[in-house]
Amino acid sequence: MIYLTRYLLRHHIRSQKYFAPVIFYIIAMLLIYSYKPNPIADSYSVTAMLLFLAAAWLGVMVMNTEPAKQYQLLVLHTGSRRKVVTSQLICAWIMQFLLTAITVLYPVFAGMFERQPTGEEWMMTWLGHLGLSLLGLGISVFFQKSYIPLLSRSMPALIIVLLLSFIQGSLSERLPESLEWLGRILPPAFYLVREMMLFDESKMDSFVSVMLWTVLYALGLLIIHVWLSGRRDLRS
């Protein structure tokens, strides 16, 4: 598994398909920190929201890197489709973790905040960014070529789901009572970003509960994807 993940990571870096989402995210982050001092909670909540979008985009790129024939060879060599899929997810998660580390550490070492983050703010920042990047990855796996062959169809559909996950709070208020359940089944990105933005006013318990729900939601999506990969040939 380690050698397979290392191979996929090298292959994806050489393919340069990561370039567009990574550059998009880094430029957006640098624009946010183009002036100082910045408020800690507000700045980190905005970068977490952007990281959620970039993680979903990066996830689709990682899942689509391997051509169908090469994917089949990997399955033959490893003897399991689920091993290949799990290694793809680990590969994507490593890249997203590096983006998270850059996001959290850059403004602190560059002196972009009015003060140093407290211990609780550090915890909120790391968990919030990692949770939203994991959620973005969990959503993105269902928009790869295995499920939607044409990129021209999968990307617009992915963007719609990502946008709906950000407006589900106001969407639930506008829906009739019989359809309010639709707001509850959407990815909980809105609620986690809101908890990060209001961290100075809210309690740590409230943030942790939303954080756990986000992680469980993302892990549920990833487990379903791995299970489906073992049920059929996703590249056929």
pLDDT value at 170 more than 90: no
In whole angstroms, how far apart are CA 191 and each of 52, 106, 150, 167? 13, 25, 31, 10
pLDDT value at 234 more than 70: no
Residue with structure tokens 């970068």? 47
Query: Virtual CA dihedral for 200, 205, 206, 211, nearest 10 degrees?
Result: 100
Give the phi and the psi of residue 55 in degrees, each rounded to 5.
Answer: -65, -40
Q: How far apart are CA 101 and CA 96, in angstroms?
A: 9
In the chain, % of residues over pLDDT 70: 97
Query: Virtual CA dihedral for 191, 127, 5, 76, nearest 10 degrees?
Result: -40
Q: CA 145, 141, 1: angle at the middle one, nearest 5?
A: 100
**What mean pLDDT do residues 114-139 have?**
92
51 pLDDT band (50/70/90 cuts)?
A: very high
Q: How far apart are CA 92 and CA 85, in angstroms?
A: 11
Query: What's the token pair of residue 223?
Result: 């487990």
Q: How far apart are CA 162 and CA 60, in angstroms?
A: 13
Question: Is-contact 54 25, C-beta < 8 A?
Answer: yes
In the prediction, which pLDDT does 232 show? 65
In the prediction, which pLDDT does 178 show? 72
pLDDT value at 235 more than 70: no
What digits encode the pLDDT tens for the residues 9-34? 888 888 778 888 899 999 999 999 98
Does 176 sit behind a cis peptide bond, omega within 30 degrees of 0 on the bond before it?
Answer: no
